[in-house]
Structures are given as structure tokens and as C-alpha cells.
Homo-oligomer: A and B are copies of this chain.
Amino acid sequence: MTGETLIDPAACIGQNVTIGHAVRIYGNVEIGDGCKIGDFSVIGCPAMAKGLPYLKLGPRATIRSHAVIYEGSTIGPELEAGHHVVIREGTVIGENLRIGNLSDIEGNCKIGDFVRMHAYAHIGKGSVVGDFVWIFSLTTLMNDPLPPSHLFEPVTVGDMAIICVNAQCLPGAIIGRGALIASGAVAQGDIPPGVIVTGAAGEVAGPVRLMLHLPTRTKHPWPRHFTDAYPDRTHERIRTLAAEINEEAAHFQARTKA
């Protein structure tokens, strides 16, 4: 630990925690063993609401500089948070979220295990994101169907779905498991499992399993060629999930053809 930090003595800090320069840790937190807190971060930032539970930050998190994580959230082990990230209160996050620089999770969200977000991902309040989901840069999960209003229809993203760069998910969108929202596309309504969605009108362009990178003959979905990017202990789970999605997608396609 370097000097010049400000740590509330009420904070509960685990073993072997590394704390960077000038960090601020508020009292309403429990930091797991082996966490690394980057310079100029704010951990347990007080929310406007009173009486929130403490921030429970799982073990072995790596939080890069200038991050802000509020009280009242529960975060699984091995969080990897980029620089200038914000995670608001009331959010429940699974194992090993990787969230890129300058991303913003707006609060009361539910995020599964092994989710990957790139830079400038804007996850609206109340969003529900499954396991092994990818969310690329400059995307928004919205929640107000008649902005501005008191209506509240957050987005649900199914397991293993992929939201590509600058894709936008309209309020209330329910994105099927394994679906891919292409770069710049707009997702709305119910997106079937395992389909590609393209364009501003959010049309279903076909099944993800037909996606092919010609020069290398690499095919989607990614469990065929990308499972090694996750820890060994997840591989069985990825295979099972991929098989389920495959079947779900085949059912859906059979049903819509009939």
C-alpha cells in the first residue's frame, strides 16, 4: 500500500489486498482476498439512497485506476475493471466480469458469469445480462420506451449473446441466447436464439452458425474456436450451454419454417 490513501476504518479488507496511490475506500465495503485496487479509485462510493447493504467485492479483483464502484452491489470473484469504469449500486455480478475502460453500469443490473464488455459500454439501469455475453464498444442497453417517462423496460441479454460495436438495444428488447447483434444494428422486441440481427430496422439476417470468416474458414458460434479464452473449469459448462443454444435455435428455425 502506498501513502495518501483514505480508507474508512469500518471497511472490511481481506488478505493480500494491494491498494494503489491516493485511493478512497468508504466504510460500507467488504473487499475479498487478493484484490488489486488501482490508483485514484473510489470503492464503496455512497449512493443517494440510504441504508444500502455494503459493496461485496469478491476475491482477486483487478480494478484499474480512476474506477468508481458504489456500495450496495455484489460482485463475484475475479472482476477485471478497466480505467474510468463506473459500476452503480444494487447490481449483482457473477464471476470474472471483464469491463473495459470508460464503461458505465448504471445500477440495479444483473450480470452473469464471464461477461466481457469493451470500452464505452453503457448498461442501462435494470439490465439483465446472461453468462458468457460479449458487449462491444459504444453500445447502450436502454430502458425507457418513451423518453423521458416513468416507464421502465430494461433489456435482457441471453447467455452467449454478442452485441457488436455501436449496436444499440432498444428498451424492452429480449435478446435470445447466442444471438449476434451486428455492428451498428438496432435490437428490438424478441430476438430469437442464435440469429444474426443487422441494420437500423433490426432485421434477422440468418443463423449465427452460418457466419464464416472465409480466409481462415473459422465458423461461428464461438465455442468451436474460442473456448480456450476462458479458464479450464468453464469448458464443460460452455459446451453444455452451446449445445442447448444450438438445439433451441434449431427448434426455433423449424417452428418458423412450418
Residue of B nearest to A165 (CB): B140
A185 CB, min distance to chain B CBs, angstroms: 9
Asked whether A162 is an interface residue with its Cβ less than 8 Å from the other chain, the reply is: yes
Asked whether A110 is an interface residue with its Cβ less than 8 Å from the other chain, the reply is: no
- Distance between Cα atoms of A220 and B147 in the complex (Å): 9
Residue of B nearest to A216 (CB): B151
Beta-carbon contact of B164 and A166 below 8 Å: no
A199 CB, min distance to chain B CBs, angstroms: 7
Q: How many residues of A contact B (CB 8 A)?
A: 62
A32 CB, min distance to chain B CBs, angstroms: 20
| Cβ-defined partner of A148 (8 Å) among B101, B116, B151, B165 | B116
Q: Mark A65-106 against chain B: 1 for CB-CB distance below 8 A, else 0.
A: 110100000000000001110100000000000000110101
Stretch at the interface among A38-46, A52-60, A234-242, A244-252: A38-46
Q: Mark A2-20 against chain B: 1 for CB-CB distance below 8 A, else 0.
A: 1110100000000000001
Known: A39-B42, A146-B220. A213 touches B151 (CB 8 A): yes
Asked whether A200 is an interface residue with its Cβ less than 8 Å from the other chain, the reply is: yes
Known: A40-B22, A40-B42, A86-B102. A165 touches B142 (CB 8 A): yes
- Distance between Cα atoms of A25 and B142 in the complex (Å): 36
Known A40-B42, A147-B162; 16 more pairs at CB < 8 Å: A3-B6, A4-B22, A21-B22, A24-B40, A42-B65, A66-B66, A102-B120, A104-B119, A104-B120, A118-B122, A134-B148, A147-B164, A148-B162, A150-B229, A151-B216, A151-B218
